[in-house]
Amino acid sequence: MITMSDKDITDAIIRIFKKELGAFSDVFPDDLLKDIKKRISPAINDLIESQGFVKKSKYESIYKLAEDLEKRIEKLEKN
């Protein structure tokens, strides 16, 4: 399974943005790019989840919860 962290996805989109702008990307201040990153990150997450995927952090949380529930069920079955 290939996973990317939330930061990796946002960083990849910023790199694409810089590449498409070419030489103009050097003109933009870093604060502007950080602000764009901060603003688009929630939209990216919504888009990813709308396609049936979840963020890595959410997946890991759900996975841990499922493991904990399995352990509780096994314990109850033994009693």
- Predicted confidence (pLDDT) per residue in 16-59, tens digit: 877 877 767 677 777 877 787 788 878 887 887 888 887 778 88
Statement: residue 1 has pLDDT above 70: no
Looking at residue 48, its amino acid is: I
pTM of the model: 0.48
CA separation (Å) from 9 to 3, 4, 54? 10, 6, 12
Answer yes or no: are the C-beta atoms of 45 and 55 closer than 8 Å.
yes
Q: Residue 37's pLDDT is what?
A: 77
Q: Where in the sequence is the domain holding 37, given as residue range(s)?
A: 6-78
Domain count within the chain: 1
Q: Residue 4's pLDDT is what?
A: 59
Residue bearing the bigger pLDDT, 62 or 1: 62
Answer yes or no: are the C-beta atoms of 55 and 10 closer than 8 Å.
no
Residue 41 lies in a domain: yes
Residue 1 lies in a domain: no
Non-local CB neighbours of 21 within 8 Å, separated by 6+ positions: 28
Residue 66 lies in a domain: yes
